[in-house]
Amino acid sequence: MEWLGHAKVSFTHSTTPLALTKKDGTPTDLLTVCEEATPPCKLNPLLFNGHVQTMWTVMKNDGPPLHYKRKIFENEDPKFAGSFAVDFVTHPSQPFPEKDDTLPIRTTYFSEEEFRAIDSNDSRPMLVVLHGLSGGSYEIYLKHVIAPLVGAEGDKKWEACVIDSRGCAMHKVTSSVLFNARATWDIRQMVLWLRNTFPNRPLFGIGFSLGANILTNYIAEEGSACQLKAAVVCSNPWNLDVSSSALQRTWLGREIYLKTMGANLKKLIELHHDQVAKNPKLDFEKIRAVKYLNEFDRHVQCPTWGYPTEGAYYRDASSTDSLFAIRIPLFAINAKDDPIAVDEGLPYEEIKQTPYAVMCTTSLGGHLSWFEMDGHRWHARPASNFLNKMAFEVDVNPPAAENGATKDDQSSSGFNPIRRKWQA
């Protein structure tokens, strides 16, 4: 039983977790690394369940004072035409420029001269971050993870960038192609750009909520060719259809969570109306009548991507089956009382079938919350600990044969875990 905010911590994993080797030559495995990275979960006892934890996120302070420089990229694939913004963590100039009202707090654009000089041959680890639904680089839950990594001293210091979903974080939409729950096209291009620009930096990933779902799908689609060395996913909803159905069953689910998420997306699409309205498949009269997230998906995502129902979209975009195709170490962190990424949708059985993933579940924590007494977010501790262990303690470049199954092994049974129904 939980007592005064002390949550139970459990690990779900394969009976044969991925074998790893430390840089000093001693053997270890993925489960051991995840367990060692995870401290006890002691949360604020006044925030006594997942609803209270989750709703407390509206009581926002500024969080760690990270500074960003933004660069706008154009997607090179004509099927996914449009621009996306990437915010790179940077040290502020002295003095830091006055706030730009067209950008989030502590964010400025790179000058052309600054961006031309961004490439580097250093070997610092670099973190690629994907935020949650309609969020951005300013979100406190991700800054709590990034801040201790980029603020480390000496050779333990990280670099980091946040890929803002199209239209989010005050980025102007430039095409009718937005993002959805399996929008892997912008992160794919960005990872390749990072690999070429920083050839010696090991790349790692972390995703939150919807960004966790996208990141998991991306890692699976890349398979053994994935350029990321390891990744963390926090509050991944995993089975979107299960989560949607669970939310629709209760008053809180409908009138608080689905309504809030639907309103946020309606606001986002109205901000970019002139550009998005160029999509002839969208009926803005129906969109403006939307009340809940599932209705938004029905009238925006379904016609945009050709899904007949929002259920078909959710099933296709869910990342659970992607677990079978991942070929890098993946650490998943979820709360069992999460009212959005619900426990009944978590992939317990699927995790047991892959050596490449370990899932840590806490009995308390809510959705992207895990508030401790001092306002810190607990999830930042295991996430940053895991990333530091993988970057500085574990050999992340082992011979391919040591990683067990290959991508082809999964398809030999006739089941292709990343075969999608939607195609460009």
Q: What pLDDT shows up at residue 121?
A: 97
Residues 173, 66 share a domain? yes
| Domain end position, chosen among 258, 291, 317 | 317
| Residue 209 annotated as catalytic | yes
| Exposure of 247 in the CB half-sphere (CA atoms within 13 A) | 28
Residue 406: its pLDDT value, please? 41
Instruction: Give the CATH number of the domain where residue 120 resides.
Output: 3.40.50.1820
d(CA 242, CA 247): 9
Tens digit of each residue's pLDDT (9 = 90 or more) over 310-349: 999 999 999 999 999 999 999 999 999 999 999 999 999 9
Task: Of 204, 174, 212, give the one whose Cα is nearest residue 391.
Answer: 204
Residue 368 lies in a domain: yes
- Of 317, 342, 374, the residue at which a domain comes to its end is 317
User: Tens of pLDDT along 51-109?
Assistant: 999 999 887 677 899 999 999 999 999 999 999 999 999 987 656 666 788 899 999 99
Q: For residue 323, tell me if it sits in a domain.
A: no
Does 352 have pLDDT greater than 70? yes
Structure tokens at 302: 């379904």
Return mean pLDDT, the chain.
92
Residues 333 and 297 in one domain: no
Q: What would the mean pLDDT of 383-407 be, rounded to a whole number?
A: 76
Instruction: Say whether both 80 and 197 belong to one domain.
Output: yes
Residues of the chain above pLDDT 70, percent: 92
**C-alpha pair distances (Å), 53 with each of 337, 338, 368, 371, 373:** 9, 9, 9, 7, 12
| 317 close to 343: Cβ distance less than 8 angstroms | no
Query: For residue 413, is it within any domain?
Result: no
Q: Tell me the pLDDT band of 413, cut-offs 50, 70 and 90.
A: low
Lowest mean pLDDT, pick from 89-98, 118-127, 133-142, 400-409: 400-409
Whether 165 sits among the annotated catalytic residues: the reply is no
pLDDT of amino acid 234: 98
Burial of 62 (0-12, 13-18, 19+ CB in 10 A): exposed
Q: Is the pLDDT of residue 417 over 90?
A: no
What pLDDT shows up at residue 99? Answer: 72
* Structural domain includes residue 400: no
Reported as a single tens digit per residue, the pLDDT across 27-57 is 999 999 999 999 999 999 999 999 999 999 8
Q: Which one of 367, 369, 379, 384 is the catalytic residue?
A: 367
Q: Give the C-alpha separation, 141 to 367, whole Å.
A: 10
Annotated catalytic residue within 134, 137, 209, 322: 209
User: pLDDT value at position 98?
Assistant: 66
* Same domain for 271 and 234: no
Same domain, 134 and 250: no
Same structural domain, 207 and 115:
yes
| Cβ contact 70:85 at 8 Å | yes
81 and 149 both lie in a single domain: yes
**Which pLDDT score is estimated for 242?**
98
Give domain status of residue 110, yes or no: yes
Give the residue numbers spanning the domain of 294: 244-317
225 and 268 assigned to the same domain = no
Give the percent of the chain with pLDDT over 90.
84
Query: Is the same domain home to 152 and 292?
Result: no
Least confident segment among 143-152, 169-178, 196-205, 246-255: 169-178
The answer to the question of residue 415 being in a domain is no
- Write down which residue in 317, 346, 361 finishes a domain: 317
Number of domains, the chain? 2
Q: Are residues 221 and 293 located together in one domain of the fold?
A: no
- Given a cut of 90, is residue 164 above it in pLDDT? yes
Catalytic residue among 186, 338, 369, 384: 338
What's the rounded mean pLDDT across residues 405-419? Answer: 56
* Position 30 in a domain: yes
Query: How far is the C-alpha of 340 from the C-alpha of 261, rounded, in Å?
Result: 11
- Specify whether 119 is catalytic: no
Does the structure show a pLDDT above 90 at 207?
A: yes
Long-range contacts made by residues 275-283, C-beta under 8 angstroms, separation at least 24?
275/172, 275/173, 275/174, 275/175, 275/176, 276/173, 276/176, 276/178, 278/176, 279/176, 279/304, 282/176
pLDDT value at position 424?
Answer: 55
Same domain, 302 and 373: no
Does 409 reside within a domain?
A: no
Asked if residue 46 and residue 188 are part of one domain, the reply reads yes
